[in-house]
Amino acid sequence: MPVKVGDTAPDFTLPAQTGSTVSLSDFRGKNAVVLYFYPKDDTPGCTAESCAFRDQYEVFKNAGAEVIGVSGDSSESHQKFAAKYNLPFTLLSDKGDQVRKLYGATAAFGLFPGRVTYVIDSQGVVQYVFDSMFNFQGHVEEALKTLQQLAK
């Protein structure tokens, strides 16, 4: 069953591009989290999406949210990807796609990694889910819109 609006976001711990590990529960009670699953580092669509999140990162931070990207790539790949495109946020390595499967963030008959963004409030509840393989900018715009509504 895919994670949906109103669900408590499943906790996880994964390695980051910095060499540290990050758990979703690290943010509970502190920050909202924009958790985006993307297929692969340094591909055209994923680069466009990640750079769109980068370009709005300060807006996300000002809205009280942390941005976290997740793919099946290694931490080393994430480190190169983040450095190449100046990505200021955390990228997590989900080897074997266990967290992706836990969230149900698959696409195309469950065969390919999906492009799905979750807005999780500071209490750990999913407030919005955006699932689109090709509307890269939409992931950023919809996440920001949701955070602005939560702030009201």
Categorize the per-residue pLDDT at 109 as very low, low, confident or very high, splitting at 50, 70 and 90: low
Second-level CATH architecture of 13-151 = 3-Layer(aba) Sandwich (3.40)
Q: What is the pLDDT of residues 35-89, one digit of tens each?
A: 999 999 999 999 999 999 999 999 999 999 999 999 999 999 999 999 999 999 9
- For the chain, give every domain's residue range: 13-151
Say what the pTM is: 0.95
Categorize the per-residue pLDDT at 150 as very low, low, confident or very high, splitting at 50, 70 and 90: confident
Quick check: is 46 catalytic?
yes
Categorize the per-residue pLDDT at 106 as very low, low, confident or very high, splitting at 50, 70 and 90: confident
Q: By C-alpha distance, which of 129, 131, 150, 125 is closest to 7?
A: 125
**Above 80 in pLDDT, residue 129?**
yes
Tokens 């000002």 — which residue?
Answer: 62
Residue 66, H or E segment: strand 65-71
- Active-site pick, 22, 46, 63, 144: 46
